[in-house]
């Protein structure tokens, strides 16, 4: 099979959507090496993150029309000329005219946060996102949703028939499937985060209103003094970060927080997960919730939300809370911090077993390949009937 991918974010995005693109293609290439995997990108950037993909067949614009215009308006023609049988739009978009190109198409939808949390997005951006996703949902042969919650949202907001959508959970990066020892984690963190306390709580994610970092900070006020461990915050933000910092200042809590805007590599993050006493992620809405899986694979107990896709990410091993209730977040965190060593070990094992069983790259690759095969079969029948 000759499969093409929208690889813009693989080469140009180094966080969520870029990680999904790289993890997906790497898993498919490892599990099914007999296929041709072809990358289409406006620009093939070479660095340590993208270098493993530069030995693949990579197509860049060969016309006067460059960048986003090429990706949107000329890519369908390039796919046909390159002998692509199936094209996978990895992040909410498909090129214009793909339904007339003779190339079967699969679309991944991660979330519709611009619909559920519109105040986080500029009006103009919301219109563009909505237009692109509506077009792609209408013309894709099949749609991959990264959670059942996202599938429900696509059906609700775009009227897509349930039978057209497959739920295929995404894996996290490979390193998380090989646990880091405690001693190695201490060594890594000594280098990456000098002065890190022996016990701490952890939050990882963008610092915006949807992620609800302020809910964690407020929850700390409900916790007994003896359990108010320092909170390490890994992430970036602007306006909402200031709101959180203003609350911290007003309540004289400044010494309890360690802000880490950047880490050099994912080993540093894995080490933090490994050493943290508890990972707290009371988000209001997620397409999936990768940090929950990263934490469980690293042996860290998880407190997360009972809403959106987060129960899918955490399974029975995570403590689920109402993100609107600060006291409930505090109670769950205190419960984790009160566990005996045996209780903690039991939950850690359950979490890791669940994460490996549900979200291993091989599981995703096998499921996705079945989607591809079904899509090609349906496309062949449809072309015969025309």
Domain positions in the chain are: 2-171+361-379, 174-358
Residues 6+ apart with CB under 8 A from 229: 197, 199, 200, 201, 277, 337
φ/ψ of residue 4, rounded to 5: -105, 150
Residues 6+ apart with CB under 8 A from 282: 212, 215, 216, 219, 303, 304, 305, 321, 323, 329
pTM for the complete prediction? 0.93
Its CATH class, for the domain covering 2-171+361-379, is alpha beta
Which value, to the nearest 10 degrees, does the dihedral of the CA atoms of residues 171, 175, 181, 183 take? -130
Query: What Rg do the C-alpha atoms of the chain give, in angstroms?
Result: 22
Reported confidence tier of residue 5, pLDDT bands at 50, 70, 90: very high
pLDDT in tens, 104-146: 999 999 999 999 999 899 999 999 999 999 999 999 999 999 9
**Portion of the chain with pLDDT greater than 70, in percent:** 98
Specify the pLDDT at position 185: 97
Residue 79: phi and psi, rounded to 5, are -65, -45
**Looking at domain 174-358, which CATH architecture does it have?**
3-Layer(aba) Sandwich (3.40)
Q: What is the pLDDT of residues 352-371, one digit of tens each?
A: 999 999 999 999 999 999 99
Give the pLDDT confidence of 60-113 residue by residue, as tens digits: 987 656 777 888 898 999 999 999 999 999 999 999 999 999 999 999 999 999
pLDDT tens column, 160-187: 999 999 999 998 989 999 999 999 999 9
The alpha carbon of 72 is separated from its chain's Cα centroid by a whole number of angstroms, namely 24
pLDDT tens sequence across 29-40: 999 999 999 999
Predicted local confidence at residue 385, as pLDDT? 63
Statement: residue 11 has pLDDT above 90: yes
What does the pLDDT average to over 9-29?
93
What does the pLDDT read at residue 63?
63
pLDDT of residue 161: 97
């Amino acid at each position: 099979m000759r499969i093409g991918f929208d690889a813009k974010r693989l080469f140009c995005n180094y966080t969520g959507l870029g990680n999904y693109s790289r993890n997906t293609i790497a898993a498919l290439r490892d599990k099914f090496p007999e296929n041709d995997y072809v990358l289409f990108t406006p620009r093939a950037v070479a660095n340590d993150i993208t270098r493993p993909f530069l030995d693949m067949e990579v197509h860049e614009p060969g016309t006067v029309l460059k960048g986003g215009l090429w990706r949107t308006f000329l890519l369908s023609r390039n796919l046909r000329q390159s002998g692509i049988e199936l094209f996978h739009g990895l992040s909410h978009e498909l090129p214009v005219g793909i339904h007339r190109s003779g190339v079967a198409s699969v679309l991944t939808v991660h979330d519709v946060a611009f619909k559920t949390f519109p105040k986080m997005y500029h009006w103009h951006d919301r219109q563009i996102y909505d237009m692109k996703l509506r077009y792609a949902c209408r013309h894709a042969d099949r749609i991959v949703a990264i959670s059942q919650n996202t599938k429900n949202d696509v059906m609700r907001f775009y009227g897509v028939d349930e039978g057209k959508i497959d739920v295929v959970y995404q894996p996290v990066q490979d390193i998380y499937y090989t646990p880091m020892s405690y001693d190695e984690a201490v060594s890594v963190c000594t280098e990456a985060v000098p002065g890190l306390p022996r016990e701490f709580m952890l939050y990882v994610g963008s610092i915006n209103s949807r992620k609800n970092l302020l809910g964690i900070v407020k929850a700390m006020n409900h916790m007994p003094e003896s359990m108010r461990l320092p909170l390490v915050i890994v992430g970036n933000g602007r306006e909402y970060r200031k709101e959180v910092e203003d609350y911290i200042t007003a309540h004289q809590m400044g010494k309890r927080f360690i802000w880490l805007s950047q880490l050099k590599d994912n080993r540093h993050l894995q080490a933090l997960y490994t050493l943290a006493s508890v990972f707290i992620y009371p988000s209001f809405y997620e397409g999936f919730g990768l940090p929950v899986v990263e934490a469980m694979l690293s042996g860290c107990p998880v407190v997360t939300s009972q809403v959106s896709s987060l129960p899918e990410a955490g399974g029975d091993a995570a403590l689920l809370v109402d993100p609107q209730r600060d006291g409930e977040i505090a109670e769950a965190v205190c419960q984790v911090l009160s566990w005996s060593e045996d209780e903690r070990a039991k939950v850690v094992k359950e979490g890791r077993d669940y994460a490996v069983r549900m979200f291993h790259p091989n599981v995703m690759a096998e499921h996705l390949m079945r989607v591809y095969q079904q899509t090609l079969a349906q496309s062949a029948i449809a072309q015969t009937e025309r």
